[in-house]
């Protein structure tokens, strides 16, 4: 069992930065591949990026590539999403998720076993 809690969301101007954190409970956190998703009002939840269990591999959707960075600290049971050069279209509720599958990343939400409650990110123009 893994519990996930996101934090770090807020209101930021376009071009600004935010760092989201995802705190995980459970001894086996380091064995989970992690993903970040987001859901904007009226839209489906979409994959943002993922990181392998070791942190050695990361993957990003084209819309955030070069602007967002995912990292993890298995010793602290933490995953991070550093978001730079934010745009109004990045406005959404952001979720972290954990999957017990051991591939480098999974873009489909159905692969994930555990989800956080989400944190709101609002980017003003």
Q: Check whether 16 has a pLDDT greater than 90.
A: yes
Report the chain's mean pLDDT, rounded to a whole number.
Answer: 96
Q: Check whether 34 has a pLDDT greater than 80.
A: yes
Tokens linked to 67? 């602007």
38 close to 92: Cβ distance less than 8 angstroms: yes
Q: Which of 3-12, 74-83, 101-110 has the lowest mean pLDDT?
A: 101-110
69 close to 86: Cβ distance less than 8 angstroms: no
3-state secondary structure of 122: strand
Q: Check whether 26 has a pLDDT greater than 90.
A: no
Size of the chain, expressed as the number of residues it contains: 125
Tokens linked to 30? 């380091």
């Amino acid at each position: 069992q893994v519990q996930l809690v996101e934090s770090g969301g807020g209101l930021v101007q376009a071009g600004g930065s935010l760092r989201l954190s995802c705190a995980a409970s459970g001894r086996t956190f380091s064995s989970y591949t992690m993903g970040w998703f987001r859901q904007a009002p009226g839209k489906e939840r979409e994959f943002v990026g993922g990181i392998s269990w070791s942190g050695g591999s990361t993957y990003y959707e084209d819309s955030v590539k070069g602007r967002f960075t995912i990292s993890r600290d298995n010793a602290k049971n933490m995953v991070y999403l550093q978001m730079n050069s934010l745009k109004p279209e990045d406005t959404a509720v952001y979720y972290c998720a954990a999957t017990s599958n051991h591939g480098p990343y999974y873009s489909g939400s159905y692969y994930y076993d555990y989800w956080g409650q989400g944190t709101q990110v609002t980017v003003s123009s």
